[in-house]
Structure 1
Amino acid sequence: MSNIPDYKELTSAVSAQMRAMRASQPELMTAFGLLASAGTKDAALPRKTRELVALGIAIACRCDDCIGFHVQTLVKLGTTRAELEDVLGTAVYMGGGPSMMNVTHALRAFEEFSL
């Protein structure tokens, strides 16, 4: 049995919990939303590049939820598998074996969201 999650299911479940948090903690969730928006908007680096950086960090931090959301966004932004694999290679270079294990998760998420 694989320990790689179903990313469509995972991101849907996390989104539902985040909506619940928005109802009970609106200030926190508004601030988090603004932070996310500021960290991923087009600026000196284009949004896709910033999302690729975020994915590399998600892999290094071993955050499957983050991997799912950033890969989902990257697919929507038209990221190619070759672009994704370039950033995954850099993540492995910087994080070694543990990052390699999470790279397989990112590839799974890319396959799911690309359908």
Structure 2
Amino acid sequence: MSKNYTEIVTHLTQLMREMHKGIPQTMAGFVQLADKAKAGGAIDAKTKELIAVAISIAQRCDGCIGFHTRGAVKLGASREEMMETIGVAVMMGGGPSTVYGAYALEAFDQFNAAK
């Protein structure tokens, strides 16, 4: 079964808009946290997105894989960088991370082809 990460991200974005309407202060706080955490500093923004991809794989979160892989692609991550990120996630998450690592690679290829 192939997953379409563009569709996953689009669908979740629509759902999250509804959450923003229902809990605007909470969601605004989360957006601010995410923006600050992902901003470049001692660690550049691309590396932070790749870290988020690794955590997404280890946590087995399809939506997180989609959002953070798309972010990594937008910031210029290479396929080789994605492969090494997947390797770290597999080390940290064991067998289930091999499955979600494959999904993250699928997401990378989809977003990279679309840019």
2:88 to 64, 87, 90: 90
Distance in 2 separating the partners of 1:51 and 1:13: 21
Q: Once superposed, which parts of structure 1, at least 4 consecutive aligned residues long, lie more than 4 Å away?
A: none
Superposition RMSD in Å: 0.8
Q: TM-score, normalised by structure 2?
A: 0.95
- The unaligned stretches of length 5 or more in structure 1 are none
Aligned ranges 1:1-115 → 2 under 5 Å = 2=1, 4-115=2-113
Distance in 1 separating the partners of 2:20 and 2:94: 36
Question: How far has the Cα of 1:5 moved from its partner?
Answer: 2.1
Tell me which amino acid in the other structure corresponds to 2:93.
G
The count of corresponding residues between Structure 1 and Structure 2 is 113
Moved more, 59-68 or 18-27: 18-27
Distance in 2 separating the partners of 1:46 and 1:75: 14
Tell me which amino acid in the other structure corresponds to 1:40.
K
Q: TM-score, normalised by structure 1?
A: 0.95
Distance in 1 separating the partners of 2:100 and 2:28: 29
Tell me which amino acid in the other structure corresponds to 2:48.
R
Tell me which amino acid in the other structure corresponds to 1:68.
G
What SS class does the counterpart of residue 78 from structure 1 fall into?
Answer: coil
